């Protein structure tokens, strides 16, 4: 059908008036997280968040990705308290609560990909409507009192942490990306966002590496409906859930029974690309659910953000991980969102493929990537996810 090649920004969908980008660039005063020396931090999170692993996070802390991260740095860095950081930042809605986003993968059993990935968000709780997150990096500091537990949303926190980590260790990003990806959308998104957040604060050099992610990721995130909280306080999504780097064309909309929200159907505009996605959004324009189907058979159009080749690759990884939709055959249980293989990560294409959800074989199957082994992560991605599920879910909560 019609494809508009690479025109990224399609006409702003109704409702999507929210500028997601501007925000990225400049944000007013934002809370910043600094990785304080453990001491101070710990005192803050003294609740034992340090822990991590666990599910135990009765408090709401969850180890999740952050845990891994912290492990990563645990060798001796200030960063050790990632999980703590997050944990602290995350004290928020718990999964069980209404309004919690849920990532679910289901097997559609259909031929083409079988499984669909859907990111579902039940209803954004008010608390998530934080307007601008961006930037925490800039300051060393402290969260401003007024915003959430720590002055920032989960995502913010995560983003910040990520950013910092990146700063500390370049390699981290790779890891994080991968990692995040494995956790499916949420994490990825969050991480991705960080770049934007960071960009202003991070040193120029750093930006390049991250920016790409963010740029792409950012888009992706929206795709996932994750959110763009950065600048959009509340409805980021509106009509174009498409900012995942690919171009989408809406070809239908329908009121789904059982759902108060209408479902929109999108197709990838790339010629011959079979990828489709269904997006459900609430009345406010908030995306409540996105389901990808199929696999992109092309690379993501580059125009959107422009320029950074890296952006693609990086983003890819990020995204790839984010939603691995498609064929869950393989990823079904054990692999879940996680299964992204290095191959995929490396290939920019893959990036989105995952997102779009599909791919069969290639990515799936790799439960314990090397990095995991290196990091001594014993849990399988899935396990990790499960254990940390709360956290990352929270992160996902894009609420708005």
Partner DNA sequence: TCGATTTGACCTTGA
Partner DNA sequence: GTCAAGGTCAAATCG
Q: Which residues bind DNA (CB under 7 A)?
A: 2-4, 7, 10-11, 13-14, 109-110, 239-240, 247-254, 256-259, 263-265, 267, 269, 276, 278
The token duo for 282 is 């609430």
CB of 249 vs DNA, minimal distance in Å: 4
Residue with Cβ nearer DNA (153 or 242): 242
Residue with Cβ nearer DNA (103 or 165): 103
Residue with Cβ nearer DNA (58 or 271): 271
Residue with Cβ nearer DNA (3 or 383): 3
Q: Which residues pair with 249 in a beta bridge?
A: 267
Residue with Cβ nearer DNA (146 or 258): 258
CB of 289 vs DNA, minimal distance in Å: 11
State the CB neighbour count (10 A cutoff) for residue 28: 9
CB of 238 vs DNA, minimal distance in Å: 9
> Whole-angstrom Cα distance, residue 288 to residue 264?
11
CB of 14 vs DNA, minimal distance in Å: 5
Which H helix or E strand runs over 315? helix 309-322
Name the region of 157 (left: φ>0; alpha: ψ -120 to 50; beta: rest).
alpha
**Burial class, 147, CB count within 10 angstroms (exposed 0-12 / middle 13-18 / buried 19+):** middle
> Whole-angstrom Cα distance, residue 59 to residue 62?
8
Name the phi and psi angles at 189, rounded to 5: -60, -50
Residue with Cβ nearer DNA (253 or 378): 253
- Asked whether 297 and 328 are in contact (CB, 8 A), the reply is no
CB of 279 vs DNA, minimal distance in Å: 10
CB of 108 vs DNA, minimal distance in Å: 8
């Amino acid at each position: 059908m019609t494809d508009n090649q690479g025109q990224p920004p399609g006409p702003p969908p109704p409702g999507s008036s929210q500028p997601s980008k501007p925000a990225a660039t400049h944000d007013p005063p934002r809370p910043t997280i600094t990785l304080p020396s453990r001491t101070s931090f710990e005192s803050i999170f003294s609740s034992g968040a340090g822990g991590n692993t666990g599910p135990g996070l009765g408090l709401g802390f969850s180890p999740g990705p952050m845990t891994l991260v912290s492990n990563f740095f645990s060798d001796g860095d200030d960063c050790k308290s990632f999980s703590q950081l997050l944990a602290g930042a995350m004290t928020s809605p718990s999964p069980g609560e209404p309004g919690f986003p849920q990532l679910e993968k289901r097997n559609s059993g259909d031929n083409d990909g079988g499984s669909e990935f859907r990111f579902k968000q039940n209803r954004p709780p008010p608390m998530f409507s934080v307007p601008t997150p961006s930037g925490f990096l800039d300051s060393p500091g402290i969260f401003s009192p007024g915003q959430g537990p720590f002055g920032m949303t989960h995502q913010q926190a995560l983003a910040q942490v990520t950013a910092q980590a990146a700063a500390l260790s370049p390699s981290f990003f790779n890891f994080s990306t991968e990692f995040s990806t494995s956790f499916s959308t949420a994490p990825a998104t969050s991480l991705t966002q960080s770049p934007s957040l960071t960009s202003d604060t991070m040193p120029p050099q750093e930006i390049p590496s991250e920016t790409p992610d963010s740029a792409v990721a950012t888009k992706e995130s929206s795709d996932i409906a994750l959110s763009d909280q950065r600048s959009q306080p509340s409805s980021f999504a509106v009509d174009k859930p498409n900012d995942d780097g690919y171009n989408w064309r809406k070809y239908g909309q329908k009121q789904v029974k059982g759902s108060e929200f209408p479902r929109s159907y999108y197709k990838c505009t790339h010629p011959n690309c079979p990828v489709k996605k269904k997006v459900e959004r609430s009345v406010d324009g908030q995306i409540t659910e996105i389901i990808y189907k199929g696999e992109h058979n092309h690379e993501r159009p580059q125009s959107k953000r422009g320029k950074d080749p890296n952006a693609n690759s990086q983003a890819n990884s990020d995204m790839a991980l984010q939603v691995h939709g498609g064929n869950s055959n393989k990823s079904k249980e054990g692999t879940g969102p996680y299964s992204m293989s290095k191959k995929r990560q490396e290939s920019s294409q893959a990036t989105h493929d995952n997102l779009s959800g599909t791919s069969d074989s290639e990515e799936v199957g790799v439960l314990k990537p090397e990095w995991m082994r290196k990091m001594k992560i014993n849990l399988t991605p899935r396990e990790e996810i499960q254990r940390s599920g709360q956290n990352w879910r929270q992160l996902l909560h894009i609420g708005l």
